[in-house]
Amino acid sequence: MLALAVVAGALILGTTLRDMRSGALAPATTPDTGVALAGGTPAPTPAVADCVALARVAAHVAPPLAIIDANDGTKRITSAEGGFALTVPGSWVVWPGQSGQRAYAQAHASSYDPKTVPPPDPERWMLPPSVGIALDVQVWMNAERVSLERFADNVFIGPDQMSKTPGKVETIAGHAAYRFAINDEHRFQPSDRPLVVTRQTRIVWLIQSPVPDRVIVAWATPGESALFTTAERAVTQMTIVPPDQSQRPVTYQRGDVLRKWSYDKNGTRIAGRRVEAKLMTYAEANAAMNRPAPAVGATAAPKPIQLLRLDHDPDDLYWVVAVSGPDLPQGRGGPMGIGVSGATPTPTVWILYDTSATADDLAGTATQIATQGSWPPGFADLPDRCR
């Protein structure tokens, strides 16, 4: 039986945790007077004050991705929050992210329109080089500030990635860079024909951002396209500047977090419930949520899910919340007893999750639930920026 489950995103706790974050299940605003350990034992005195100073900061949000037609047959793509700008042919289609939805410091450009291009052959999966080329630029976190060559070891793009071809050190816009190739391979076994194997390469550039713990990651797919040199020129002639840092006031306060977990929907305090919340940057919360979990007895600790790509502003403020006690939500796909039909699910004893303190995005980086122990290990050592 697993003692701890770690899953990316907040959905592991289902609608209950999501509603707690959004306020849909907000209880009566009974003043919070403290928390307690399960069984009524007094807990160490946690911070309970709201972030008064941070609630008063002036809001500043970096402008979204700018796509400007230069009237010379090119388009200029500028990400103020990513600190990069590049030029692509004017006929190319540009999106603010791979999915077409806005994403933090991301840009997707392609020589073809993804909405109208014929879907790939299911057997081969990948679009043939004759269709054109796609160019993606994102900002990833390099929390340990390792060299770009070392950082390349952690780069994973796409489900068909099989291997990497070592590359070379370069300089782009006066910044250190490293170029290498990812080798993709897709295998499909028809029922009546030999195995179909399709291969392609992605050419990847890692460029050191002016912010030491961030890397600008660009890649062109497929490297076999006749338009590769056009994509290569767009990357190697990129402009890089310090990113425009957004600043958002704290609007979801510590007291809001404590009340939502300490009281039921009728405003009655939940006996034995312990709740604490610490304010961190998104980058710090990501690191805190994805630390290696301790093993319990003979049970191996699950491998943490590391989020390198930044889908959210790393400087935005997040609450890392720890909850323990009775009647906690069960995790979807988490420890559910013996696994026999009709078995009683193993009770959740503590939960650790993160959520935005600025109401910019309620999605977190990860959630942990546990069926053993009494409190998230190491929580006391985490920083708290609330002031």
Amino acid at 90: G
Ramachandran region of residue 224, left (φ > 0), alpha (ψ -120 to 50) or beta? alpha
- Lowest-confidence pick of 15-19, 248-252, 380-384: 15-19
Residue 89 · residue 83 · CB < 8 Å: no
Give the model's pLDDT for residue 97.
Answer: 78
Of 102 and 209, which is predicted with more confidence?
Answer: 209
Domain 66-240 CATH superfamily: Mog1/PsbP, alpha/beta/alpha sandwich (3.40.1000.10)
| Residue 94's pLDDT band (cuts 50, 70, 90) | very high
Ordered by start, the domain boundaries in the chain are 4-58+248-381, 66-240
- The count of residues in the chain is 387
Mean pLDDT over all residues of the chain?
Answer: 84
pLDDT digits (tens, 9 = 90+) for 362-373: 567 778 999 999
Structure tokens at 66: 């700018």
Give the model's pLDDT for residue 45.
Answer: 65
CA distance to 74, 93, 132, 182, 201, per residue, from 112 (Å): 15, 7, 6, 22, 18
Stated pTM of the model: 0.80
Structure tokens at 45: 């005195």
Of 338 and 213, which is predicted with more confidence?
Answer: 213
Give the model's pLDDT for residue 149.
Answer: 97
Which position has the token pair 């006929």?
91
Which position has the token pair 């999106």?
95
| Residue 157's pLDDT band (cuts 50, 70, 90) | very high
User: How many Å apart are CA 281 and CA 384, to the nearest integer?
Assistant: 9
Half-sphere exposure of 291 (CA within 13 A, CB side): 17
- Lowest-confidence pick of 62-71, 92-101, 359-368, 369-378: 359-368
| Residue 360's pLDDT band (cuts 50, 70, 90) | low
pLDDT higher than threshold 90 for residue 21:
no
**Backbone CA torsion sign across 172, 174, 177, 179:** positive
Q: What's phi and psi for 234, nearest 5 deg?
A: -60, -40
User: How many Å apart are CA 274 and CA 300, to the nearest integer?
Assistant: 27
